[in-house]
Amino acid sequence: MTSSYSRTGSLIALADARALGMAVRRTRKAHGLTQAELAGLAGTGPRFISELERGKESAELGKVLDVLAVLGLRLLLDGTGA
């Protein structure tokens, strides 16, 4: 499975934690936020945001979901295996 980023904001197919991190970074920058600002809004620390954007695989899911919510992103699961 490969990852792709839709510039229209439609869908992003994520293959791994690194692809999720890249999507978070792009969206954060598009919103004009620094890592520290995003961390404050999401109730995490700047180190967590940095590690998430670098694709740390052991990032805490609850915190990841908080960051995605701040950025207006949703995590959708597809059971088709595509």
pLDDT in tens, 19-67: 999 999 999 999 999 999 999 999 999 999 999 999 999 999 999 999 9
pTM, two decimals, is 0.82
Nearest to 28 by CA among 46, 3, 16, 2: 46
At residue 11, the pLDDT reads 78
Give residue limits of the domains in the chain. 17-70
Calpha distance 57→81 (Å, rounded)? 21
The CATH code of domain 17-70 reads 1.10.260.40
